[in-house]
Amino acid sequence: MIKNVLSDIGGIGLYGVISICLFFAVFTGALFLSLRMKQSVADHINSLPLEDGEPVQKGVSHE
């Protein structure tokens, strides 16, 4: 498949290789960053939607 893609790019050489390498770089980069994240940090950020701020008056809060 990659061979077919590349053989059809007449005259612009390494374009396809560079594109696919970029994709793998982005994918592995995101994987690398996410795996380095500490669980406690992930848990904190994950809980953000559940914390809207402390309501000042009870009864008018949505939560």
Partner 1 sequence: MNPNLETFKYDNRIVRAFAIATVIWGLVGFSAGLLIACQLFWPELNLNLQFTTFGRLRPLHTNAVIFAFVGNGMFMGIYYSLQRLCKARMFSDTLSWVNFWGWQAIIVSAAVTLPLGLTSSKEYAELEWPIDIAIAVIWVVFAINLFGTIFKRREKHLYVAVWFYIATAITVAMLHIVNSLAVPAGWFKSYSLYAGVQDALVQWWYAHNAVAFFLTTSYLGLMYYFLPKAAERPVFSYRLSIIHFWALIFIYIWAGPHHLLYTALPDWAQSLGMAFSIMLIAPSWGGMLNGLLTLRGAWNKVREEPMLKFMVVALTAYGMATLEGPLLSIKSVNALSHYTDWTIAHVHTGALGWNGFLTFSVLYWLFPRLYNTKLYSVKLANWHFWLGLLGMMFYVIPMYWSGITQGLMWKQFTSEGFMQYPNFLETVLQLIPMYKLRAIGGTFYILGACLMAYNLYKTAKAGVFVPEVEVQAPALKTEVAAHDGNDPWHHRWIESKPLVMTGFALIAVLIGGLVEFIPMWIIKENVPTIAAVKPYTPLEVLGRDIYIREGCVGCHSQMIRPFRSETERYGEYSKAGEFVFDHPFLWGSKRTGPDLHRIGGKYPDAWHYNHMDEPQLTSPGSIMPRYPWLLTQKLETNSLPARIGALRKIGVPYPGGFEATAQTNLQAQAAKIVENLKQGAITNAPPDREIIALIAYLQRLGTDIKATNAPPVKTAAN
**Site for partner 1 contains 58 (CB under 8 A):** no
- Report whether 6 contacts 16 (CB < 8 A): yes
Binding mask 3-42 for partner 1 (x = CB under 8 A): -xx--xxxxx--xx-xxx-xx--xx-xxx-xxxxxx--xx
Q: Does 48 bind partner 1 (CB under 8 A)?
A: yes
12 three-class SS? coil
Distance, CA of 30 to CA of 61 (rounded, Å): 37
Residues near partner 1 (CB under 8 A): 1-2, 4-5, 8-12, 15-16, 18-20, 22-23, 26-27, 29-31, 33-38, 41-50, 52-57, 59-62
